[in-house]
Amino acid sequence: MSDQNRPASEPLRLVDVQQAVTAELDRIAPVIDDLGARFADAGHELALVGGPVRDAMLGRRSNDLDFATSARPEVTERILRGWGDAWWDMGRSFGTIGCRKGDWVVEVTTYRSETYDPDSRKPDVDYGDTLAGDLGRRDFSVNAMAVRVPGREIEDPFGGVVDLAHQVLRTPGRPEDSFSDDPLRMMRAARFAAQLGFSVDPDVVRAMTEMAERLSIVSAERIRDELVKLIMAPHPRLGLTLLVDTGLADIVLPELPALKLERDEHHRHKDVYEHSLTVLEQAIEQEEARFGGKPDFVSRFAALMHDVGKPKTRRFLDDGTVTFHHHDVVGAKITRKRMQALRFSGDETDAVCKLVELHLRFHGYGTGEWTDSAVRRYVRDAGDELVRLHVLTRADCTTRNKRKADRLRRTYDDLEARIERLSEEEELAAIRPDLNGNQVMKILGIKPGPEVGEAYRFLLDLRLDEGPKSPDEAKAALLAWWAERSEGRPPAG
């Protein structure tokens, strides 16, 4: 049974591990046998290491292969240049040389260790001499296994196979030493829990909690990359919960634990923290229908962050109720600040923040009272994020009241149907005024300037309010607006 089909709680059998490894090594034989022989002929060791070995034991397949070698980077480069179709050395400072051979992507790294200076954001790289030493410096025992090639001897000095069978994450040595060497490994513990559905050894959790502040020396970009992998994993709740429980989230995503003490007046059975995790999971459930089953970071992260404005906007009223007025707008600003701090791209930041700001818009729809004009504005404001807004809005319903949930679902079904109908009739996705800028200038006899922009905005509002018009109708409306404007009266529309 492949890992994708096996329940996370079901233990692995040793016989299944052995069969999975044998099958995968046979599949990748054209790479490991040939490349292993080339390194051996050059007098050096080569071993398949880390994730590819772990995934082979889980029945997963990948054409991205990582190797460790006794050869120094210049020797590795020479061997790969004579074997691969293309090569690269962006990781040379870490001892890594990469290449592509047909459909295979290969990276070979010199035996090494990574240690952090207490005040440095970047690890120092020291080359090692043995495979066992290299494995001992890796993050977790399930990633500290290797297969020597071309002989295919399995090296498992730290019990990775046993931990894999028990679905637990442990460090090869003391977790305090591992996390001191590379604090980012604490984030990786949460990421692998989310990716594999594994539990984390209590000693590892304890060390993460005690050493959480150590993560502050790691660069924002490295933290961001781990966070993205966690969010995109099959079980992000596991990883996020671990970050919050250990205090790591206070450093990397403080907005998340801040939700834990806030009660949501719409979801009294759970706090906003639990609600947000549930919304994330419900957004993931829609990926098959909306995105062809592919994980979508923007919709997932927007689901997680959509209520982060609530702590700052919470107000207690005299009648005992609680309000969170404008938490959508405040939340969008908080989200932007966090994503900028983590060095996300401008496009990703804009997309997530737009969704956070718009996530309440549907609740003004009532039972379908919106005019066609309001529906057009909903589509215009969502822009390229309309599908993701559909995902977030539907995911945001976490009520246990089946009747209420069914009513909200039917109401949003109605809104989507109206959007589809209007889109077919009016091309809503590319909605524009019925006259362009050149036509406006010709009709009004004006030159480029602010007045053209005013006229354009009038025509756009007219288009949204009343739908498409013929050129003659649009011209008449524009001239009437211009006449009122010229007379100093507030223009119509």
Would you list the DSSP string of 200-243?
E-HHHHHHHHHTGGGGGGS-HHHHHHHHHHHHTSS-HHHHHHHH
Least confident of 196-200, 409-413, 452-456, 488-492: 488-492
Compute the distance between CA of residue 227 and CA of residue 217 in angstroms, rounded to an integer.
16
Burial classification of residue 407, based on how many CB atoms lie within 10 Å of its CB (0-12 exposed, 13-18 middle, 19 or more buried):
middle
What integer pLDDT is reported at residue 99 of this predicted model? 96
φ/ψ (deg, to 5) at 54: -60, -50
Position 143 pLDDT exceeds 90: yes
Residue range 213-219: average pLDDT?
Answer: 94
What integer pLDDT is reported at residue 288 of this predicted model? 93
Compute the distance between CA of residue 308 and CA of residue 165 in angstroms, rounded to an integer.
38
What integer pLDDT is reported at residue 336 of this predicted model? 98
Position 169 pLDDT exceeds 70: yes
Residues spanned by the domain of 227: 172-253
Residue indicated by tokens 């994980």? 295
481 and 338 assigned to the same domain: no
What integer pLDDT is reported at residue 277 of this predicted model? 97
Residue 493 in any domain: the answer is no
What integer pLDDT is reported at residue 369 of this predicted model? 83
CATH label of the domain that carries residue 358: 1.10.3210
Least confident of 76-90, 104-118, 218-232: 104-118
31 and 112 assigned to the same domain: yes
273 and 417 assigned to the same domain: yes
98 and 14 assigned to the same domain: yes
Residue indicated by tokens 């035996």? 111
What integer pLDDT is reported at residue 146 of this predicted model? 96
What integer pLDDT is reported at residue 427 of this predicted model? 61
Residue 43 in any domain: the answer is yes
Residue range 87-96: average pLDDT?
Answer: 91
Position 5 pLDDT exceeds 80: no
Compute the distance between CA of residue 456 and CA of residue 471 in angstroms, rounded to an integer.
14
What integer pLDDT is reported at residue 238 of this predicted model? 97
Classify strands 104-110 and 64-69 as parallel, antiparallel or unpaired: parallel
356 and 399 assigned to the same domain: yes
- Number of structural domains the chain divides into: 4
Listed residues 226, 253, 280: the one ending a domain: 253
Give me the percent of the chain exceeding a pLDDT of 70.
90
Residue 116 in any domain: the answer is yes
180 and 117 assigned to the same domain: no
- What's the token pair of residue 190? 């949460």
Residue range 203-215: average pLDDT?
Answer: 97
Residue indicated by tokens 């109206």? 418
441 and 477 assigned to the same domain: yes
315 has which bridge partners? Answer: 323
282 and 402 assigned to the same domain: yes
For the entire predicted model, the pTM comes to 0.81
Least confident of 106-120, 165-179, 331-345: 106-120
Residue 262 in any domain: the answer is no
What integer pLDDT is reported at residue 119 of this predicted model? 58
Least confident of 174-178, 243-247, 453-457: 453-457
Compute the distance between CA of residue 8 and CA of residue 193 in angstroms, rounded to an integer.
10
What integer pLDDT is reported at residue 485 of this predicted model? 82
Residue range 415-433: average pLDDT?
Answer: 76
CATH label of the domain that carries residue 176: 1.10.110.30
136 and 184 assigned to the same domain: no
Position 57 pLDDT exceeds 50: yes
Residue range 217-240: average pLDDT?
Answer: 97
Residue range 20-41: average pLDDT?
Answer: 94
For 2, the 3-state DSSP assignment is coil
244 and 273 assigned to the same domain: no
Residue range 13-18: average pLDDT?
Answer: 80
The model's confidence at residue 420, banded by pLDDT at 50, 70 and 90, is: confident
Instruction: Write the CB contacts of 236 (distance below 8 Å, at least 6 apart in sequence).
Output: 194, 230, 280, 281, 284, 300
The better pLDDT of the pair 317, 53 is held by: 53
The model's confidence at residue 118, banded by pLDDT at 50, 70 and 90, is: low
298 and 405 assigned to the same domain: yes
Least confident of 122-131, 147-156, 247-256: 122-131
The better pLDDT of the pair 358, 316 is held by: 358
The better pLDDT of the pair 110, 492 is held by: 110
Residue 261 in any domain: the answer is no
Listed residues 166, 201, 226: the one ending a domain: 166
Compute the distance between CA of residue 267 and CA of residue 309 in angstroms, rounded to an integer.
16
Residue range 212-240: average pLDDT?
Answer: 97
For the chain, give the mean pLDDT: 88
Residue range 245-268: average pLDDT?
Answer: 81
131 and 181 assigned to the same domain: no
Residue 244 in any domain: the answer is yes
What integer pLDDT is reported at residue 3 of this predicted model? 44
CATH label of the domain that carries residue 117: 3.30.460.10
Position 213 pLDDT exceeds 60: yes
